[in-house]
Amino acid sequence: MDEGGYVALSTVEQTTEELVLSFLADGGEDFTSGEALSGKLGLSRTAVWKCVASLRDKGYRIDAVPSRGYRLVEIPDRLTPLELQPLLNTHDLGRTVHYREELPSTNDFAFRLAQEGAFHGEVVITERQTQGRGRRGRNWISPPGLNLYFSAVLRPELPPQRAPELTLVAAVAVAETLREAGGDAGIKWPNDLQIGGRKVAGILTELSAEPEQVHFVILGVGVNLNAKKTDFPPEVAEVATSLAEARGQKVPRALFAAALFTRLEQWLDVHQREGFEPVRSAWRKLSITLGRDVLVKTERREFTGMAEDIDETGALLVRTREGTTERVIAGDVEQLRTQSPHQ
Ligand code: BTN
């Protein structure tokens, strides 16, 4: 251990406080003895106690019972590396977190970091965006301290024409994490996450590439976790919801973020190893668009039809009344009936 209180752990450096927290988090509801902690970390019992005291000052609730040890009871509702690192078991994603109280847009910040050489898996997280961006030039309303806004730098081994598949990879990971956390989420093509017909999360991917080679992809994700209707302007409140609203219970944001990073990395690994097919079949199961009548709006035209499937590139296949199959690669779909397989 060096003077600054850092311990080198394989590829990741963790502070002593992060290490104490990971041991306590691993212990779950059980107590971890002071002796075990000091033995594992090579610290004196007094140093462990000081570390626990400093964590309590930062808002962590840690029980200490003589002869039993320490137990982590509550973590503060922040998304700094101190909260996230102990909860993560990813190999790359989120191992480096750039946390800022406020940013115009995490995508813009991550894009600059990537241009300067940021590694695959580095993540930018903020509490509040002043110019959060959505698809097709829209805004992403980002009230402070309630939701999750992050962008990941990805350096996949993919030809540029396959980069759009990553958006569907992310949609599957976000939908599964929302469902695991108690929200009945489905995916509206291409990558809107909805609960009960209202938007709960969105994904914005941006690419830097040459014709033959991807330099990097910025994967930006916004998830409404604890926002209430009153936290949004009226026009957004009408169409948006949050996970807390859907499940009727506040969401611990760091736990949700760690669960999402884990799932996202698992799906990125599957995609890298096995290609798009397993992603496509998971996407189909989570889709609330397939099998529905839709109004398709692209930059050039509007038409209606039945959303039949997505093809091997992720494009939506729509069967029109005239009997033709239209392939939609970019645009918005409006679902014309309210019933769906998931809601
Ligand atoms: C959409 O559904 O229109 C996409 C919304 C994407 C929002 C996220 S929030 C984090 C990241 N930074 C941004 O400026 N946008 C994405």
- The per-residue pLDDT for range 33-55, each reduced to its tens digit, is 999 999 999 999 999 999 999 99
Q: Is the pLDDT of residue 298 over 60?
A: yes
Q: Is the pLDDT of residue 292 over 70?
A: yes
314 ligand 1 Cβ < 6 A: no
Q: Is the pLDDT of residue 1 over 60?
A: no
Among the residue ranges 74-83, 212-221, 283-292, 333-342, the one predicted with the least confidence is: 333-342
Instruction: Say how many Å lie between the CA of residue 149 and the centre of ligand 1.
Output: 7
Fold of 81-286: BirA Bifunctional Protein; domain 2 (3.30.930)
Q: Is the pLDDT of residue 2 over 80?
A: no
Among the listed residues 266, 322, 260, 333, the one whose alpha carbon sits nearest the alpha carbon of residue 297: 333
| Residue nearest to ligand 1 atom 11, measured at CA | 220
106 ligand 1 Cβ < 6 A: yes
129 ligand 1 Cβ < 6 A: yes
**pLDDT, tens only, 127-180:** 999 999 999 899 999 999 999 999 999 999 999 999 999 999 999 999 999 999
Pairwise CA distance, residues 96 & 323, whole Å: 51
Percentage of the chain modeled with pLDDT above 70: 94
For a mutational test of ligand 1's pocket, the pick from 107, 128, 136, i.e. the residue with the most ligand atoms closer than 8 A to its C-beta, is 107
Domain boundaries, the chain: 11-74, 81-286, 293-335
133 ligand 1 Cβ < 6 A: yes
Among the listed residues 190, 211, 193, the one whose alpha carbon sits nearest the alpha carbon of residue 202: 193
Among the listed residues 15, 257, 75, the one whose alpha carbon sits nearest the alpha carbon of residue 152: 257
Q: Is the pLDDT of residue 56 over 60?
A: yes
**Per-residue confidence (pLDDT) for residue 271, from 0 to 100:** 98
**Atom number of ligand 1 nearest to Cα 106:** 12
Q: Which CATH number is associated with domain 293-335?
A: 2.30.30.100
Instruction: Say how many Å lie between the CA of residue 207 and the centre of ligand 1.
Output: 14
**Per-residue confidence (pLDDT) for residue 8, from 0 to 100:** 31
**Per-residue confidence (pLDDT) for residue 108, from 0 to 100:** 98
In this structure, how many other beta carbons lie within 10 angstroms of the beta carbon of residue 8?
10
CA angle 36, 41, 44 (to 5 degrees): 80
Question: Hey, what are 185's tokens?
Answer: 């989420």
**Per-residue confidence (pLDDT) for residue 13, from 0 to 100:** 57
How does residue 3 score in pLDDT terms, banded at 50, 70 and 90?
very low
Instruction: Say how many Å lie between the CA of residue 178 and the centre of ligand 1.
Output: 17
- Determine the average pLDDT of the residues in 279-288: 98
Q: What radius of gyration, in Å, describes the C-alpha atoms of the chain?
A: 22
Query: How far is the CA of 261 from the CAs of 67, 101, 183, 308, in angstroms?
Result: 36, 20, 17, 31
For a mutational test of ligand 1's pocket, the pick from 149, 193, 218, 225, i.e. the residue with the most ligand atoms closer than 8 A to its C-beta, is 149
**Per-residue confidence (pLDDT) for residue 18, from 0 to 100:** 87
For a mutational test of ligand 1's pocket, the pick from 113, 127, 133, i.e. the residue with the most ligand atoms closer than 8 A to its C-beta, is 133
SS3 of the chain: the string is CCCCCEEEECCEEEEHHHHHHHHHHHHCCCCECHHHHHHHHCCCHHHHHHHHHHHHHCCCEEEEECCCEEEEEECCCCCCHHHHHHHCCCCCCCCCEEEECCECCHHHHHHHHHHCCCCCCCEEEECCECCCECHHHCECCCCCCCCEEEEEEECCCCCHHHCCHHHHHHHHHHHHHHHHCCCCEEEECCCEEEECCEEEEEEEEEEEEECCEEEEEEEEEEECCCCCHHHCCHHHHCCECCHHHHHCCCCCHHHHHHHHHHHHHHHHHHHHHHCCHHHHHHHHHHECCCCCEEEEECCCCEEEEEEEEECCCCCEEEECCCCCEEEECCCEEEECCCCCCCC
Fold of 11-74: Arc Repressor Mutant, subunit A (1.10.10)
**Per-residue confidence (pLDDT) for residue 168, from 0 to 100:** 96
